[in-house]
Amino acid sequence: MREAVLAIHGGCGAIPKAELTPEADIAARAALRRALEVGYAVLTGGGLATDAITEAIVVMEDDPSFNAGFGAALNRAGQHELDASLMDGASGRAGAVAGASRIRNPVRVARRLMEASDPLLLIADAADAWAAANGFAVVENAYFTTHERREALERMLEREWVDDISPASERDRHGTVGAVALDTHGNLAAATSTGGYTAKPVGRVGDTPIIGAGTWADNRTCAVSGTGKGELFIRLAFGHEVHARMLYRGESLEVAISGLVHGELVALGGGAGACAIDRSGNVSLPYNTEGMYRGWIRQGASYVAIHET
């Protein structure tokens, strides 16, 4: 049996260190630890990587410290449009939803769609209807709203009103949660969930539900979940590109993923980060922003961080 490993991110759009209150810091770190512990319990019980990452992300979708599920960002119309995806590295199957407005835990529905494989991706009302028809919890859109996210939307709209061209803060621009795992059977899996970015156009879809962009897993190489400017991740086919550099160039996980996060994505002007695991259990958590909510856990050791190196 292989050693089980789980790694997560809660978004590279972390609150700037100078603005992070002690209470918010404690809450975010506690949520990261809960997500790691819940997911790792699945792995150590002999469970599949796909199940472990689903449960880890559900913890973050239910916690307002992160931009996914409850506490997700609001679009320009003051509504939530949620995206999620999951990929199994053993079979290559995947599932995703985009623009969902009522699914309480989008990653759970992505997990079920992965099993169905056809359809692989459902959008908007169709995703909500499929979730309800298959017994998943659905809620009113207002369930996802928090006071903090409403204030963030007001800040972004005010910036546009006064024609403020300075860059918005990372926490207002984007943010995502993700998880990758290697289970005791030697299988890899990756999942990602997001509310997008504050004041995004209605109907905008980023990289999170796009297999090969924000999410990728292949037992031959790695499992990857990205966070950042989704349009750039799509243009680079980010997740698949990490896999391809490892498979065809023979690069290590660290070289492949860091080259993209600190190279191509920086050149394109995008704040970005990721969590990834290779088939040997090596973990990489690169980011090019001020901070990234992140962590990992394996036998006898765990790690959680936000801004510290």
Spatial CB neighbours of 114, under 8 Å, sequence gap ≥ 6: 50, 86, 87, 88, 93, 94, 95, 120
| Catalytic positions | 176
Nearest in space to 156 (alpha carbons), one of 170, 145, 144: 170
In angstroms, the CA 155 to CA 135 distance is: 37
Contact call for residues 39 and 179 (beta carbons, < 8 A): yes
User: CA 226 → CA 67, 192, 275, distances in Å?
Assistant: 13, 7, 7
- Cβ pair 191, 84 in contact under 8 A: yes
Return the structure tokens found at 68: 């996914």
Distance CA 263, CA 287 (A): 11
What is the CB-side half-sphere exposure of residue 63 using CA atoms within 13 A? Answer: 22
E strand or H helix that includes residue 245: helix 238-249
Phi then psi for residue 123, to 5 deg, are -125, 150
Q: Establish how many alpha carbons lie within 13 A of residue 215's alpha carbon, considering only the half-sphere containing its beta carbon.
A: 38
C-alpha span between 290 and 154 (Å, rounded): 23
Q: How far apart are CA 194 and CA 227, in angstroms?
A: 9
